[in-house]
Amino acid sequence: MFLCPLTGVPTTLTQSSENMSFSYETTLTGLVWFTDLALQAASSLSEDQRRILAGICRNRDIADAKPEIINLEFLQRLYDLEIPYSFEARATHFLKYLYDHGGKNYQTHNFNSVKDSPITYSTAEEFENIVRYLRNENWIEYDEMLPTNSGVFYQSLSLKKGGLVEVEKGQPKIPMYDLVNQKITTGDAKTDAIIEDARKQFFSDISTMETKRSACEKLSYVIEPLRTHLETLFSGDTEKFFQIVNTFDIRHNKQSTIRIEHEEQLEWVFYSLLNTISTYVKMRRKLSAHE
């Protein structure tokens, strides 16, 4: 029997047939993937480091993203990641989690402070404190709280109106409103469908880093055949634009690409691609009218 080094939960360890890496899965963490050396080092991690790793794995599992490959280099960066470290940041993260999972429709969820504490990168006790804090702020509510030996159970927990307002205060205002909402018609029904699908995917209420990355990839495939036309329309070399976009790992899996870890990076790529396509269509239509 193998015990998860992050949570102590019994599970089954599987070795990859392709390289020296190991994986396992638990209800607390979702799928976890270690390199052989990192797995050996896991036994010497502090409790705080284990909670951070459990939170990273659980949140990637929630987002349906590929599991983080935990290697020695990643272990050295545990306190330099875009994740919540302070109590307030973790409370805000949980509030945003509720918002992203039906919160706008006041959808209810059942939580257990032991099983679900990795959502907030915290201990069970801190998870309970987070729930208490959010409830005292009148941002969440629940029907029943049941303390047990297996953690505290929260029945039908949901956002309240004040919680919705609090989350939306911190939501970035969507730039280029007209660009986001306008219908782009290229003259090719298949291309138009791809653009529309990418737009819906990127701005979906349940979008994740991976679905947003997929939306960017779809637009990149639309724009790729337009390179020559764009160079003519813009009367210059557009190669630098494509080099900048391709620097980010949307679909070029090279070591030279910049790894995207923040939604703001994906927003920049998506808006750049969408605006370029929109501008191309408008200019082509304008030039055709004068021919």
**81 belongs to a structural domain:** no
Q: Is the pLDDT of residue 112 over 80?
A: yes
Q: Same structural domain for residues 210 and 281?
A: yes
**Residues 160 and 107 occupy one common structural domain:** yes
For 150-209, what is each residue's pLDDT tens digit?
Answer: 999 999 999 999 999 998 887 654 445 556 666 788 878 898 889 988 888 888 767 788
How far out from the chain centre does Cα 117 lie? 18
pLDDT tens for each residue of 32-53: 999 999 999 999 999 999 999 9
* Boundary residue ending a domain (112, 136, 169): 169
Spell out the residues 6+ positions from residue 255 whose beta carbon is closer than 8 angstroms to its own: none
Are 205 and 285 part of one and the same domain? yes
Asked if residue 270 has pLDDT above 90, the reply is no
Do residues 197 and 269 both lie within one domain?
A: yes
Mean pLDDT, rounded, for 16-34: 91
CB 167 within 8 A of CB 95: yes
Tell me the mean pLDDT in the region 224-231: 78
Residues 183 and 165 in one domain: no
Percent of the chain with pLDDT over 70: 84
pLDDT at res. 249: 54
Over range 239-246, report the average pLDDT: 65
Assess if residue 82 is contained within a domain. no
Question: What percentage of residues in the chain have a pLDDT greater than 90?
Answer: 47
Are 281 and 181 members of one domain? yes
Residues 129 and 181 reside in one and the same domain: no
Say whether both 63 and 154 belong to one domain: no
> Number of structural domains, the chain?
3
The range of the structural domain enclosing residue 184 comes to: 177-289
Quickly state the pLDDT bin for 212 (edges 50, 70, 90).
confident
Both 285 and 187 in one domain: the answer is yes
Last residue of a domain, one of 169, 190, 206: 169
Query: What pLDDT is stored for residue 174 in this prediction?
Result: 46
Tell me, letter by letter, the H, E, C secondary structure of 189-257.
Answer: HHHHHHHHHHHHHHCCCCCCHHHHHHHHHHHHHHHHHHHHHHHHHCCCCCHHHHHHHHHECCCCCCCCC
Residue 268's alpha-carbon distances to 103, 220, 281, in angstroms, are 26, 13, 20
